[in-house]
Chains A and B, each alone.
Chain A
Amino acid sequence: MSTLQQGGGRISIRNVTKIYDPDGAKVLAVDDCSLEIAEGEFCVIVGPSGCGKTTLLNALAGFHSITSGEITLDGRAICTPQFTAEPSAERIVVFQNGALFPWYTVLENITYGPEVQGRMGRREAAEQARELLAELGLASIADRYPGEISSGMKRRVEIARALINDPKVLLLDEPFRAMDALTKGVVQEFLLRALDKVRKTVLFITHDLEEALFLGDKVVVMSTRPARVKQTIDVDFPRPRTFRVRSSARYLELKQQVFDAVHEEALKAFDAGEREMA
């Protein structure tokens, strides 16, 4: 895998605002949001549900436009009000509910990217994929269909499917949501191990604060809708990390900080929700 590694991946989000205007009812989803993510940095965004986190990620991925501001990747504009760069394999998304193609085996899912990009022939892609699967401890399920493997396995395969393309940026939108705590822990460690081997710039969305601290180099707390950056907390645990990080005193300290910031926003979101219902 190290043979594939390409540099780059510095993301700059400057004064981004997004207004949804489906039928004249303007909804401000993201308001003047600015964020810098360094090359190889693991940035976690946390915030109340529906606060506009995903909107930001979708703009970065190329699925949405923005209303004002600018997003650049290594200094190159990829999303402005006039222009949204097509989705591409340099910015790969791993989705909330998983999006492995059920009609392809694990191996075929992984070779999909290299094949459609024309980077590798079928045989070369298959060889690379088998190597990668072996490296990640997934060799035994190479020829299974996604319907035959557990949800934890699926997530691992999906991360492998992204990594084989050697993206500059990995965009993960609550990828481990709705998993039981034990499986979640295993898959989180899997992601960390994979990234220990190849550093990537990561934007990771979650509302699991423990997850945010365990994985991230920095945790960005968003305000309730419209999304603004409320607070940025640097997470200074050394890498490689193991689950033992979670019982350190520093961890509890940081957790308190993040929790305070998020709780305030969660309360606001809750109140706002009640008003809407009334």
Chain B
Amino acid sequence: MNVIKVRKALLSKTVLRGFFSVGGLIVLWQIAASMKLPGFTAVPTPIEVWGVLADSISQAKFWDHWAASFARVLSGFIAAQIIGIPLGLFMAMSRTFYATSFPLLEIMRPIPPLAWVPASIIFWPTTEASIAFVIFLGAFFTVVINVIGSARNIDVRYLRAAQSLGSRPMDIFLRIILPAVLPGIFIGMAVGMGITWEVVVAAEMIAGKSGLGYLTWSSYVGGNYPQIIIGMISIGIAGYISSSLIRLLGHYVTPWQRTS
């Protein structure tokens, strides 16, 4: 991209509107908090938050919280993919297995991940393991459901064309079913990643000793109100980075999707 394109992109109406809404929110927040409007009596102003921010980000501890949350999200998320994708594919391809496992999946799926926290703490030997498990669950069901959905939606024409061109069953799996399911897998990943951040923050608030969720909650308990805001914004940015990475990965793994 050349300079003119970059400048054009930055000055485009879409981007300007984005800045306007974010900037507008900050201005309204500043006004509401400095005038101590009802509900805003204890809320720090953006300027106060800015002052504390410089202090926070210079401390290694702050970045340890980031790292802790990211490590949890990644491990739970990757585990969910490693187990969920093959499971979803297998469920989609075997009628017997589908009939056996689907009711189980559908009973477990509506249970919110956070409802698993107490049982998880009892079951797993360490708190860390129980948090990881809850995060895993958050992404797992979304992944499985998306894989099943996209595998079952593969157009029969592709399967027949592949047969007609002389494919063996292994070719059908590797060269037809797998690529056909990939876009669905990435949709599942993007949704799953969002859920994962929701879950990690809540789990850290309940049971954590580190992480952005813990940071936010302990700032509240410790009365450091500007830091609550910093924790919240950090979570937002972390989630945004994660889903951008997923989109980027999807962009490279499914190049044909860029066109159609």
Chain A interface (Cβ < 8 Å from any Cβ of B): 61-63, 86-89, 91-93, 95, 97-99, 101-104, 112-113, 116-117, 145-148, 161, 165
B164 engages A93 (CB within 8 Å): yes
Cβ contacts under 8 Å, B165 to chain A: 89, 92, 112-113, 116-117, 161, 165
A61 engages B168 (CB within 8 Å): no
Per the bound structure, the CA–CA distance linking A247 and B160 in Å amounts to 38
B14 within 8 A of A: no
Cβ contacts under 8 Å, B161 to chain A: 93, 95, 99, 101
A145 engages B256 (CB within 8 Å): yes
Cβ contacts under 8 Å, A117 to chain B: 165-166
Q: How far is the CB of A202 from chain B (nearest CB, A)?
A: 15
A103 engages B256 (CB within 8 Å): yes
B158 engages A145 (CB within 8 Å): no
Cβ contacts under 8 Å, B2 to chain A: none
Provided the pairs A103-B179, A103-B182, A116-B168 are in contact, do residues A147 and B256 lie with their beta carbons within 8 angstroms?
Answer: yes
Q: How far is the CB of A204 from chain B (nearest CB, A)?
A: 16
Please encode chain B, from 235 to 260, with 1 for each CB lying within 8 Å of some chain A CB and 0 for all others: 00000000000000000001110011
Cβ contacts under 8 Å, A88 to chain B: 164, 166
Please encode chain B, from 165 to 204, with 1 for each CB lying within 8 Å of some chain A CB and 0 for all others: 1111001000110011010000000000000000000000
Q: How far is the CB of A120 from chain B (nearest CB, A)?
A: 12
Q: How far is the CB of B251 from chain A (nearest CB, A)?
A: 14
Q: Which of B155, B164, B171, B176 contacts A92 (CB 8 A)?
A: B164
Cβ contacts under 8 Å, B179 to chain A: 101, 103-104
B157 within 8 A of A: yes
Chain B interface (Cβ < 8 Å from any Cβ of A): 155, 157-158, 160-168, 171, 175-176, 179-180, 182, 254-256, 259-260
Per the bound structure, the CA–CA distance linking A116 and B171 in Å amounts to 7
Per the bound structure, the CA–CA distance linking A88 and B166 in Å amounts to 5
Q: How far is the CB of B44 from chain A (nearest CB, A)?
A: 50
A103 engages B254 (CB within 8 Å): yes
Per the bound structure, the CA–CA distance linking A148 and B256 in Å amounts to 9
Q: How far is the CB of A54 from chain B (nearest CB, A)?
A: 12
Q: Who on chain B is nearest to A144 by CB?
A: B259
Per the bound structure, the CA–CA distance linking A116 and B161 in Å amounts to 13
Q: How far is the CB of B260 from chain A (nearest CB, A)?
A: 3
B256 engages A116 (CB within 8 Å): no
Per the bound structure, the CA–CA distance linking A177 and B167 in Å amounts to 27
Per the bound structure, the CA–CA distance linking A89 and B157 in Å amounts to 15
Q: How far is the CB of A29 from chain B (nearest CB, A)?
A: 18
B259 engages A113 (CB within 8 Å): no
Q: How far is the CB of A157 from chain B (nearest CB, A)?
A: 12
Per the bound structure, the CA–CA distance linking A63 and B161 in Å amounts to 11
Per the bound structure, the CA–CA distance linking A92 and B176 in Å amounts to 17
Provided the pairs A101-B176, A102-B260, A103-B180 are in contact, do residues A95 and B160 lie with their beta carbons within 8 angstroms?
Answer: yes
Q: Please, could you name 14 A-B residue pairs with CB atoms under 8 Å apart, sorted by A?
A: A61-B164, A87-B163, A88-B164, A92-B164, A93-B160, A98-B157, A101-B161, A103-B254, A116-B162, A117-B166, A147-B256, A148-B259, A148-B260, A165-B165
